[in-house]
A and B are shown apart, each in its own frame.
Chain A
Amino acid sequence: MTPPKGPRDKAASLSILRRLRPFVAAHATLLAVAALTLPFLAGAQLVAPYLLRLAIDRYITPAAAGQAGALDGLWTLIAILLAVLVAEVALRFAQLYLMQIAGQRIMHDLRMAVFGHVQKLSMSYFDRHPIGQVMTRVTSDVETLNELMSQGLVAMVRDVVTLLGIVVVMTWIDWRLTLASFVVFPFLAVILGFLRVRLRSTYDRSRTFVAKMNAFLQESITGMGVVQAFDEQERNVIEFTGHRDNLLKIDLRGVRLSSFLSASVQSATTVSTALVLAYGGFGVIGGTVTIGILVQFMEYLARFYRPLEDLSDKYDALQRAAAASNKIFTLLDEEPAIRAADDLRAMPDFEDAIRFEGVTFAYDEGDAPVLSDLDLTLRRGEKVALVGSTGAGKSSIVKVMQRLYDHQQGRVTIDGVDTRDLDPRALRRFFGTVPQDVFLFTDSIAANIALDEEAVSRETMAQAADLVEATDFIGTLPGGYDARLGERGANLSFGERQLLAFARALASQPQVLILDEATSSVDSETEARIQRALHNLVADRTALIIAHRLSTIREVDRIVVLHHGEIREQGSHRELMALDGIYACLYRLQYQQDGGNIGAA
């Protein structure tokens, strides 16, 4: 990875600021109020040295010179100084707090924006991006920005205002002295420019490594069972150490760079002090400068450098935040592969049929198609079984039908309306799916069955659970329907999880029920009972059933045999048996093997 070029990098920083603007603008009032305190704070910073100068030049020096009553004014001066300090403290509290509120609210908005955007991204995005990485964007990267927002940005504005104020006042007092103190600045600017590019690319890589490490970590944690079953903990540790090494190396580089940054700022300030002293010293000798002015000047310089040094730290934070926001905005710029059409058509009533017309589909544009030129009709009220060898494309048909992926050629229609003209979310609600891989949320059983708790009543939910024979085991759980599940349903057996997923599909009361290996982990006894229970319920429902165990599909109207993404056979059980093709072969295998007992073992 080469460090990005200067101008482009600058443009990137600017565009990040521009991108952040809407988020900041939403809290403009708060920020404005906080900003109001800035001139006062900066003013307070300026007043103290001025008072000091007055004290020395007007009271202390004359008093030392023996003028009577010279000290009287000093007390008033100190009273004013104290008042200024108290005001400063009060303002600073107000400012800090307001800025914190604004900063954290902005972060909240940004989190919402990122998470909301992630919800729009299609499945294909997640095929390519590991969870741990996306997670890093939503929380960790936003958190990094937070540091800058709630501490840095605020202080930075204050520092800049203070700096400007000091420069103005200093120039006003003695522009030659001011010039003397700024001689070193061009050098400093060159050094800063040099370091900035490097810092930025270093932090960029650091964020990338962090995301990679987190992706690895999240995968290790979820797969720890497998890691331990295979006794591969050691290798897991070695791999993680590799990730840690990468990150440490780049982070140490960042530390070195930022140390140079801070050291160069500090040396520059000290050199300026020396310059002012020398130049001012000549002035004092020549009688053009009073000691009071010189002292005041030095005080200003000290106050000038403190925020400057502070800024160099902030600058560092800024580069880090820029790297993080770069990642965030890259995610926000990700176009969802599947978007609602501009002129949406209303969801059809489904009087007729769902049709695949010459559909060709591949997960990756360039790859060999998973479905090729596929024609398939699912009429209203019909129960169709989809069989075929593993990897034939059965689950892919389901995904395309729900428009979880977009097909490349052909049309999928409902009552003649292209599914691409429908609102994808309405389209998906039209189906109720038991997916091949079950996913349960860390939530109650009830919430897992009735995913949309507003649309599904408690009775419907319980009824669905009853239909799939899940009430028995739910009854043994403390709290019954309110029992909380572990992550992904970890505290249930596999079959139990599948039953819940089945109940979930039924509870959503869809127009079309899709069962993708819905009972593959369920024993046939339970399965048969579910089938009997469902018999009446789905009598007039449309259903698409995918199963390898042919006993699962014995009551369908039509069987479609899929092979390598193409439909090979289609018809009733009897017709297909008569055809003596793939289906008949599969069928005989199951039947024969059971009766005939192929001698193994």
Chain B
Amino acid sequence: MLALVLTNALAMAIPRVFGAAVDAFTQGADRRRVITFALVIVAIAAAQALFRVISRIVVLGTSRRVEYDLKGMLHDKLVQLAPSFYEAFSTGDLMSRMTNDVMLVRALGGPGILYFTNAMLVYILGTGFMVSLSWQLTIVVLAPLPLMAWMVRGTVHQVRAFALSSREALSDLNTVVQENLAGVGVVRSFALEEAQVRRFEERSKAYLDWGLKESRARAKMIPMIGLAGGLSYAAVLALGGPMAAAGAVSIGDLVAFVGYIGMMIFPTVALGWILSLLQRGTAALERLDKVLQAPITIESNPDAVPLRALRQGITVSDYTFRYHDALDAYTHLQDGEVAHERPPALRAISLQVDASSFVALVGRVGSGKSTLLKSLLRLVEVPPGAIAIDGTDINEYDVATVRRSVAYVPQDDFLFSDTVAANIRFGAPDADHAAVVAAAILAGIDLSSEGLAKGLDTNVGERGANLSGGQRQRVALARALLRDAPILVLDNALSNVDTDTERRILAGLAEQRSGRTVIAASNRITAVQDADRIYVFDGGEIADSGTHDELAARPGLYASMREQQQLSARLEELP
């Protein structure tokens, strides 16, 4: 800041020196004095350059740091926000906020502040120098300023409104691109390219339109400010000319004055630009604030206790869950999408999972199995009193320890674009190679004949796109197994794996279970028949429960599912 003041003070001194020089020349001066004047200016220049470098490095560097911090803050927040938040805010939208909006805030924080301070300093110093020359002229010069401020005011608000709309349009555009790339397989396979381009064009046009509106408002502002500068210029001549003629001011002073106005016009024009930066920056900040203000719906209580091991078991009692309850927390942040009423995903569910037992969930599509499993990791907002672990409500435990106690294979086998080994190691970064190989083998990954080009070092691609469906699922399984947690939660973990491999995996798991509690949802009878207890889900309720033999013996959903899977076997036996 000091450097900035000095740079400007020095720059402002030059017209003064110059004015003095002109006066000296009019009175007739010798060469020595001329050289002295020149040298003074050169000295000033050197100092000025130095300070300028310093001030720019400081201010622009700060803006980069502001960006750095802002991104850090946003990301810190993002990792804390519950999955329900990500239903209210799409990836493309969040990406746009984290990139484009942060960029605008940076522009506000860096060049914005730099030019603003500069302009202000030029005004203050310039006014000071000018007053020291002639206060009458100074008043004349500054007279148009209030006029300018008044003219610009209305426009500024307009710029702000348009800037906000244009930011939103850009977000929409980003979302289209994100979806298009994420769904590239479907787009290509159904030859949707043209439709996608149309969709993109629509959004791009909308963005263009808002952008143009914004520019028009901005363009209006700049000449307004320029006009004010011009008026000052004319006024000085009109008043200063006669004054100089009358000898009230020297010609040198007049020249210095004109020099100052020249110096001030540019910052004034820049001020218009700064104002629009400010408007855009605040619009962007407003959007970032939505993320920063979003409530964190899943976190540990201040007096949370750690969960260390599962001793007795998990009790679910009278658990009713609606997805839109959680979404309500975000709707005021995002216009448009309103959470809507749907039947609850779980209705008064009660069940018991004993420690070290194998519990299976089967049931129809959309019957609530995954919802229950996600609840066990607190990936959804579990109401108090619904789930107890070892007799203590799940919300009383420290979230991190709950999640660390559960090895989870989600139904969505999301992998990170990294190597197979890195993905397996995801939940246990310190695991050694041997442990990784062991987990891979336990998950049925046959490294010798799997067809992975580089074995464990094969890159799996985005979301694991370079693997086959079954390979992906088994990597996700290995990732969970390496965690070595007391509870293993499998959500349809082997749906894309062939029966032979499935059998090997299940046998391996049974062998290595050693007291682990297993909770598995599956559509395959073969995967659940050995469970200690099977719960049959239907429409968010538990329709039946029992062991395989019990359930198979009575008519019902389970028996008929089993029937279907055996049908071909029966047909075979007939002839």
Contacts and interface: CB of A to CB of B under 8 A. Distances in A.
A81 B348 CA distance: 84
B53 A441 contact: no
Nearest to A85: B230
Interface stretch (A15-23, A127-135, A326-334): A127-135
Given A140-B100, A263-B52, A231 B186 contact: no
Given A275-B38, A593-B529, 19 more contacts: A82-B230, A93-B220, A96-B223, A104-B211, A111-B200, A119-B196, A127-B466, A131-B462, A263-B56, A267-B49, A270-B14, A273-B45, A284-B25, A424-B191, A452-B190, A516-B469, A520-B523, A521-B495, A595-B566
Interface stretch (B64-72, B130-138, B282-290, B388-396): B64-72
23 contacts: A60-B244, A74-B237, A85-B231, A89-B227, A93-B222, A118-B180, A135-B174, A229-B403, A230-B403, A235-B429, A251-B64, A260-B53, A275-B38, A285-B25, A285-B34, A298-B259, A306-B266, A391-B450, A435-B186, A476-B343, A504-B190, A551-B566, A589-B499
Contacts of B503: 589, 593, 598
Interface residues of B, number: 202
Interface residues of A, number: 197
A231 B404 contact: yes
A221 B91 contact: yes
Interface stretch (A4-12, A158-166, A171-179, A523-531): A523-531
A64 B525 contact: no
B185 interface: yes
Interface string B255-278: 100110011001000000000000
Contacts of A429: 190-191
A597 interface: yes
A268 B179 CA distance: 51
Contacts of A230: 403, 408, 426-427, 479, 483
Contact of B193 (A119, A554, A565): A119
A478 B266 contact: no
Which of A140, A370, A437, A504 has the most chain B CB within a 10 Å cutoff?
Answer: A437
Interface stretch (B121-129, B312-320, B432-440, B505-513): B505-513
Contacts of B404: 231
Top 3 closest pairs, chain A to chain B, by CB: A390-B470, A495-B365, A85-B230
B364 interface: yes
A115 interface: yes
B383 interface: no
Given A258-B60, A262-B56, A271 B192 contact: no
A229 B377 contact: yes
Given A71-B242, A285-B25, A368-B453, A123 B184 contact: yes
Contacts of A270: 14, 41-42, 44-45, 48-49
Contacts of B366: 473, 492-493, 495-496
B352 interface: no
Given A229-B410, A586-B500, A263 B49 contact: yes
Interface stretch (A51-59, A343-351, A353-361): A51-59
Given A281-B29, A521-B492, A225 B234 contact: no
B572 interface: yes
A89 B530 contact: no
A388 B403 CA distance: 36
A97 B266 contact: no
Nearest to B511: A600
Contacts of A273: 14, 18, 41, 45
B402 to A, nearest CB: 9
B215 A104 contact: yes
A549 B38 contact: no
B400 interface: yes
A594 B170 CA distance: 55
A266 interface: yes
B197 A81 contact: no
Interface in B80-95: 80-83, 86-87, 90-92, 94-95
Contacts of B363: 523
A146 to B, nearest CB: 8
Contacts of A425: 191, 193
A523 B362 contact: yes
A517 B170 contact: no
A577 to B, nearest CB: 7
Interface in A468-508: 469, 473, 476-479, 483-484, 486-488, 490-496, 499, 504, 508
Contacts of A391: 450-451, 468, 470-471
A130 B189 contact: no
Contact of B451 (A116, A131, A299, A370): A370
B75 interface: yes
B95 A217 contact: yes
Interface stretch (A237-245, A408-416, A457-465, A533-541): A237-245
B309 interface: no
Given A395-B468, A601-B513, A112 B557 contact: no
B22 A599 contact: no
A29 interface: no
Interface in A278-304: 278, 281-282, 284-285, 291, 294-295, 298-299, 302-303
B247 to A, nearest CB: 6
B379 A255 contact: no
Contacts of A217: 75, 95, 98
A126 interface: yes
Contact of B497 (A70, A97, A256, A390): A390
Given A143-B100, A476-B342, A586 B498 contact: yes
B178 A493 contact: no
Interface string B486-503: 000000100111111111
Contact of A525 (B204, B364, B470): B364
Nearest to B266: A306
B215 A594 contact: no
B273 to A, nearest CB: 8
B526 interface: yes
Contact of B417 (A60, A130, A274): A130
A281 B87 contact: no
B335 interface: no
Residues of B contacting A: mostly: helix
A380 interface: no
B465 A126 contact: yes
A585 B500 contact: yes
A521 B204 CA distance: 37
B279 interface: no
A334 to B, nearest CB: 14
Nearest to A281: B34
B354 to A, nearest CB: 13
A444 interface: no
Given A93-B220, A395-B469, A119 B237 contact: no
B451 A368 contact: yes
Contacts of A219: 416-417, 462
B75 A237 contact: yes
Given A78-B238, A436-B469, A223 B416 contact: yes
A230 B208 CA distance: 42
Interface string B354-367: 00001000111111
Contact of A100 (B75, B219, B223): B219
A329 B14 CA distance: 46
B500 A214 contact: no
Given A71-B245, A131-B462, A295-B22, A259 B53 contact: yes
A370 B450 CA distance: 11
Given A223-B414, A266-B52, A274-B41, A139 B96 contact: yes
Contact of A593 (B183, B197, B211, B526): B526
A274 B39 contact: yes
A78 B71 CA distance: 53
Nearest to B25: A284
A285 B28 contact: yes
B91 A282 contact: no
Contact of B234 (A82, A221, A488): A82
